[in-house]
């Protein structure tokens, strides 16, 4: 259904954004007609498939090292070196509790990636970490007493989702936390008593964006770094997730409808779908910041 709508929009001449217009360095995983999930990266003037990264769970990219880090279908962690066109498993010699790193996130200007360490392989006990690819070591980022997920770092700050309550609240409650990287000052930013997801800290506008599901739909919301000025950005009967801003201030996110997800761009108050030829659904979106 979504593909028919996008085709109709193109025929009628909509203001659609094309994939080549996405910020350079943007990566995502797209569903191909053959049913395979393929990793893609946006370059200077084209969107290229990363052929070696097919049917993977998630991935991210280190520009300084020219390597992709990804979790394979076997749930193991790998790095793919573009210079050698070869992949090798990382942290393979460590205990199983160390290899369970998920939610891989871009680490601009650093030689590695951010992620969530599932201690003992369980989501009830997590740590936010940085994997240093030069030393092969896992470095802690936040000493949190709660289970922390979905870290994102920009302009010297880390924002993450923290599971603050489960049984006592009648269900899981996840709120947003913000912390300066070099100071032990983690603070809870929301008190929505819901399951807030995928926070994004925009160091340029000093705003926090996030996805807030409620009443069988999810919208993108934003608020100031002081936790005030809470505003709903997207509305409607759909499921909007993965909000991220580009260097030009545009807001990108994933919109799920009818079981398929597409990239959308919000700029100057106008929402437009991003047309990607041959791709019926998208996940694991990471907007480039080059």
CB 146 within 8 A of CB 163: yes
Element (H, E) at 4: helix 2-12
Residue in the block written with tokens 């998208």: 282
Domain 2-286: CATH class, spelled out = mainly beta
The predicted-structure confidence for 107-150, as pLDDT tens digits, reads as follows 888 899 999 998 765 566 788 999 999 999 999 988 777 889 99
The predicted-structure confidence for 242-277, as pLDDT tens digits, reads as follows 999 999 999 999 999 888 999 999 999 999 999 998
Contacts of 43 (CB under 8 A, 6+ apart): 24
> Could you tell me the CA-to-CA distances from 38 to 28, 44, 45, 211, 278 in Å, in that order?
8, 20, 19, 25, 11
The predicted-structure confidence for 31-57, as pLDDT tens digits, reads as follows 999 999 999 999 888 899 999 999 999
What are the domain boundaries of the chain? 2-286
Rg (CA), the chain: 19
Contacts of 109 (CB under 8 A, 6+ apart): 64
Contacts of 167 (CB under 8 A, 6+ apart): none
CB 176 within 8 A of CB 164: no
pTM > 0.85: yes or no: yes
Alpha-helical segments (H) within 179-286:
none
Tokens in use for 139? 């470095």
């Amino acid at each position: 259904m979504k593909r028919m709508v996008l085709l109709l929009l193109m025929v009628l001449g909509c203001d659609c954004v094309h994939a080549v217009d996405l910020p350079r360095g943007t990566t995502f995983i797209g569903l191909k007609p053959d049913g395979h999930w393929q990793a893609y990266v946006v370059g200077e003037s084209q969107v290229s498939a990363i052929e070696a990264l097919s049917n993977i769970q998630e991935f991210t990219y280190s520009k300084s090292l020219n390597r992709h880090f990804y979790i394979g279908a076997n749930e193991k962690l790998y790095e793919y070196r573009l210079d050698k066109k070869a992949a090798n498993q990382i942290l393979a010699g460590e205990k199983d509790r160390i290899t369970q790193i998920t939610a891989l996130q871009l680490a601009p200007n650093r030689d590695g990636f951010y992620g969530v360490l599932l201690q003992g392989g369980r989501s009830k006990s997590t740590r936010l970490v940085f994997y240093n690819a030069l030393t092969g070591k896992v470095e802690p980022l936040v000493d949190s007493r709660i289970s922390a997920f979905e870290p994102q770092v920009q302009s010297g700050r880390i924002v993450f989702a923290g599971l603050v309550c489960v049984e006592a609240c009648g269900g899981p409650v996840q709120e947003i936390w913000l912390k300066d990287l070099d100071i032990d000052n983690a603070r809870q930013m929301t008190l929505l008593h819901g399951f807030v997801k995928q926070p994004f800290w925009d160091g340029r506008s000093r705003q926090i964006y996030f996805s807030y599901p409620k009443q069988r739909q999810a919208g993108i919301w934003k608020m100031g770094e002081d936790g005030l000025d809470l505003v709903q950005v997207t509305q409607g009967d759909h499921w909007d997730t993965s909000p991220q801003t580009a260097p030009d201030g545009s807001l990108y996110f994933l919109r799920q409808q009818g079981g398929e997800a597409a990239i959308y761009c919000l700029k100057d108050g106008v929402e437009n779908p991003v047309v990607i030829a041959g791709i019926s659904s998208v996940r694991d979106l990471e907007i480039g910041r080059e």
